[in-house]
Structure 1
Amino acid sequence: MTATYQELIEQREALDRQIQEVKEQEKRIGIEKVLALIEEYGLTSDDLFSKRAGIMKSGTKSLAKVPPKYRNPETGKTWTGRGKKPLWMAERSKEDFLIK
């Protein structure tokens, strides 16, 4: 026998309530475990959330500083070859500005 639409809605609502109850229960258990570890190791909020902790890193790496590869002979301005090409290089080839 197949369930009616209304019966299925009621089953879904009951299941959603059950999911929420289990989620809250597991969340409490997780918090208890974390608090026990904090107490065991004497951790502070600085230990957990400071950038100095070394665990929480941003998703980007900083690029190493690179020596310039190109120089504008008229102004002395340089460019490493990274990023947008400077306007002073627009009309000529890169080789014309290469630092030798």
Structure 2
Amino acid sequence: MSRFLELTAELAILDLKIEVALASEKARAIREIQARMYEWGIESKDLREVRRGPKYVPKKSGRYVPKYRDPDSGATWSGKGREPRWIAGKALAVFSIVSADIDPLASCNG
């Protein structure tokens, strides 16, 4: 038999041994995890909650610092949400507010 065929046969045997060893180790790890979960009273739903994290709850403040101001009406927009009519389709730089001029307590129209 050629050396190539011998090595190919050895590789197939090693691949099979690796597959068996992996399955054995995986089964052992699962048993250990199940034992720990039982010991601590952890259920699979607990793991799903941790993985997903807390449910998203949007901020209810509704207040953002305005970034844009309409020079005609004085209306402001934070850049969040839908563009107001007075700025829609126009260059934002024209309406930009310099940060020193911003009053964070002023009401914001968007």
Bin for the TM-score computed over the shorter chain:
0.5 to 0.7
Query: Could you tell me which amino acid in structure 1 is paired with residue 27 of structure 2?
Result: R
Distance 2:11 2:69 in 1: 68
* C-alpha contact (below 8 Å) 2:70/2:95 kept by paired residues: no
Instruction: State the secondary structure of the residue aligned to 1:87.
Output: coil
- Residue deviations 1:20-61, cap 9 Å, x none? 0010000010011011001101111221111xx3xx257xxx
Distance 2:37 2:8 in 1: 43
CA RMSD, Structure 1 to Structure 2 (Å): 3.1
For structure 1, the 5+ residue unaligned runs are 59-63
- Residue deviations 1:63-96, cap 9 Å, x none? x985221224457462449xxxx73226xxx265
Change in 2 beyond 3 A, CA 1:22/1:77:
same
Query: What's the TM-score, normalizing by structure 2?
Result: 0.57
Percent of aligned pairs with the same amino acid: 23
Distance 1:74 1:44 in 2: 61
Query: Could you tell me which amino acid in structure 2 is paired with residue 70 of structure 1?
Result: Y
* C-alpha contact (below 8 Å) 1:67/1:80 kept by paired residues: no
For structure 2, the 5+ residue unaligned runs are 54-58, 81-87, 102-110
Moved beyond 4 Å, runs of 4+? none
Distance 1:89 1:21 in 2: 65
* C-alpha contact (below 8 Å) 2:67/2:97 kept by paired residues: yes
Change in 2 beyond 3 A, CA 1:15/1:8:
same
The structure showing larger relative contact order (alpha-carbon pairs under 8 Å, at least 6 residues apart) is 2
Look up the match of 1:67: 65
1:12-23 matches, within 5 Å, as 12-23=11-22
Query: What's the TM-score, normalizing by structure 1?
Result: 0.62
Instruction: State the secondary structure of the residue aligned to 1:68.
Output: coil
